[in-house]
């Protein structure tokens, strides 16, 4: 069973860049899957940020596209999220997840990122 674990700073200053990494264990990141980022503001619903295939192909949510970069590091079996020019509206729990067979079937535990000075 594949496991995912997010890591990165829990506090980012306004106008700064949020950077998170998702480590994949129990399976290869080169496994014909899309690897995704999803976020959830406190007390609110879920929003897809973007996804990457092991080939490097990406899809981004148009609402965030100008600020988002997702990359993959096959040698470390991990993928990463960068979100620039953050504001308080980007405060959320950020999840990484695997998309396979019409489902986000594996999720990380989530990491809270707060945007504050």
Q: Which residues contact another protein (rule: CB under 8 A)?
A: 45-48, 51, 59, 61-63, 95, 97, 99, 101-105, 107-110
Closest separation in Å from C-beta 90 to another protein:
16
Nearer to another protein, 7 or 16 (CB): 7
Question: Checking DSSP bridges between strand 58-60 and strand 47-53, what pairing results, if any?
Answer: antiparallel
Closest separation in Å from C-beta 112 to another protein:
10
User: Do residues 108 and 93 touch, judged by C-beta distance below 8 A?
Assistant: no
Burial annotation 22-51 (CB, 10 A radius, 16+ → b, else e):
bbbeeeebeeebbbbbbbeeeeeeeebbbb
Closest separation in Å from C-beta 48 to another protein:
5
Nearer to another protein, 29 or 96 (CB): 96
């Amino acid at each position: 069973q594949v496991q995912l674990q997010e890591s990165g700073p829990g506090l980012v200053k306004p106008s700064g860049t949020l950077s998170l990494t998702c480590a994949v264990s129990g399976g290869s990141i080169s496994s014909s899957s899309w690897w995704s980022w999803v976020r959830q503001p406190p007390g609110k619903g879920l929003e897809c940020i973007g996804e990457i295939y092991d080939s490097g192909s990406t899809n981004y949510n148009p609402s965030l596209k100008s600020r988002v970069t997702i990359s993959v590091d096959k040698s470390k079996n991990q993928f990463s999220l960068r979100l620039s020019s953050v504001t308080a509206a980007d405060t959320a729990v950020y999840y990484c997840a695997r998309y396979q067979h019409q489902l986000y079937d594996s999720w990380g535990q989530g990491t809270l990122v707060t945007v504050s000075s």
